[in-house]
Chains A and B, each alone.
Chain A
């Protein structure tokens, strides 16, 4: 398969970026989107040109490193997949593909398609945990968790922190990411003690990082590679309201 690629090139955080056009030739349909970029990069290197920089690591859709806007869609046109899961056979032969980095103020570009998503880490650091000290813990089965609650917590905990929700949101809102963690921990009995404090601190940090407001259009859910549901955002809203009313 052949493709015409329009890829965002930006040599560093402070420099101006621009689109550059490349031809990708003889790409097997089974190749993943990243493997297609590998092939392109190999040919660029052979020609003595600088390869396109992008974040990636596990290449099986779980580490959350990769992520790019492909033809206006976060992680490409497929549902339920990270960029590394997208296969070239889902594109048409000869198609032209625009590749852009995640765009959001809190995600500054580092180089080309690489962005800095540490804002997510700072939100977790603000309270996205249960303060269980090592070894200061009860026997595992001393804390029963109902199966539905455990299952729903697992649904939320499946978040890979890739940032597609922010990238896809017209407001660059991080609500789905934050809600996934709030919801995961609020659903479990272990998370009850810090429940109110956690949601308040995480939301405060989220706002501080400069993410936008949620306008409930659910673009995030549609693009989430792990299909995290927006009902978790509803739960976070509820948790937040509850905490503001009852706590402190």
Chain B
């Protein structure tokens, strides 16, 4: 069999795919967050709209976007598949099983699959709210207007906040896990990875969470 295929089919190979796609998605998260910070420019969305237009118009970005969608699907489907397969590696379950004594909440299998599923659901709703109207329907509202309208609804904003907390948990496990799978965790690198992990799982979701909070606050004081 071809070595690459064989590699993918091995247990470690599948994990590498999970880790590489995961890391790519983290890079996207960072990029997306930086872009979204333009929402705070307090210029009625001018800079943000320009940025959106640039993304839509740039062929390279469009090309990467295909990968982005593919990776999200891959990461999600493979993740569910692995979870499903692993469940059947134990015929009879334990009557008593205290995984919680040994494993922090974020790293428990159940947490990962639940947070992952919720994030997938979030993605669908997020795309329906912001991607679909502009890119598919080609509606007349600008992205900025969509944002303002959406987050004036506290329920919608609350859903986002919940999703970001779960995203944080998902990242808390996922980030270090990716490096472990790539074989980069060792005595030297682990402290660095752990420090970086904190930035990733704490500050990225925090940054995202600031957006709905900001716009909800704005809508309440009647700014726009």
* Chain A interfacial positions (CB closer than 8 Å to B): 6, 8, 17, 19, 69, 71-73, 77, 98, 100, 103-106, 168, 170-173, 175, 203-204, 206-207, 210-219, 222-223, 230-231, 233-241, 244, 248
Contact = CB atoms under 8 A, between A and B. Distances in A.
A6 B109 CA distance: 27
B96 A171 contact: no
A231 B186 CA distance: 5
Given A19-B95, A213-B11, A234 B180 contact: yes
A244 B107 contact: no
A203 B12 contact: yes
A172 B86 contact: yes
B85 A233 contact: no
Residue from B15, B98, B102, B177 whose CB has the most chain A CB atoms within 10 Å: B102
Contacts of A8: 95
25 contacts: A72-B98, A103-B91, A105-B90, A105-B91, A170-B99, A171-B89, A173-B89, A211-B11, A211-B89, A212-B86, A213-B14, A214-B15, A214-B181, A215-B86, A215-B107, A216-B177, A217-B109, A222-B102, A231-B186, A234-B183, A235-B186, A236-B12, A237-B180, A238-B183, A241-B12
Say whether chain A's binding surface is mostly helix, strand, loop, or mixed. mixed
A182 B8 CA distance: 20
A206 B97 CA distance: 24
Contacts of A175: 11
A8 B94 CA distance: 10
B190 interface: yes
Contacts of B108: 170, 217
Given A230-B180, A237-B15, A73 B101 contact: yes
A72 B17 CA distance: 32
A48 B91 CA distance: 32
Given A170-B109, A238-B183, A241-B16, A215 B177 contact: yes
Nearest to A69: B94
A223 B102 contact: yes
Contact of B96 (A69, A211, A212): A69
Contact of A217 (B7, B13, B90, B173): B173
B96 A234 contact: no
A168 B101 CA distance: 11
Residue from A73, A98, A213, A231 whose CB has the most chain B CB atoms within 10 Å: A213
A196 to B, nearest CB: 11
Interface of B: 3-4, 6-7, 10-16, 82, 85-86, 88-99, 101-103, 107-109, 112, 173, 176-177, 179-187, 190
A217 B107 contact: yes
Nearest to A241: B183
Contacts of A210: 89
A248 B14 CA distance: 20
Contacts of A216: 107, 173, 176-177, 180-181
Nearest to A74: B102
Residue from B86, B89, B180 whose CB has the most chain A CB atoms within 10 Å: B89
Contact of A98 (B13, B95, B101, B179): B95
A73 B190 CA distance: 27
A213 B15 contact: yes
B183 A73 contact: no
B77 to A, nearest CB: 15
Contact of B95 (A100, A206, A214, A235): A100
Contact of B89 (A19, A73, A104, A217): A104
Contact of A212 (B12, B89, B99, B180): B89
Contacts of A17: 92
Given A69-B94, A231-B190, A237-B12, A213 B180 contact: no
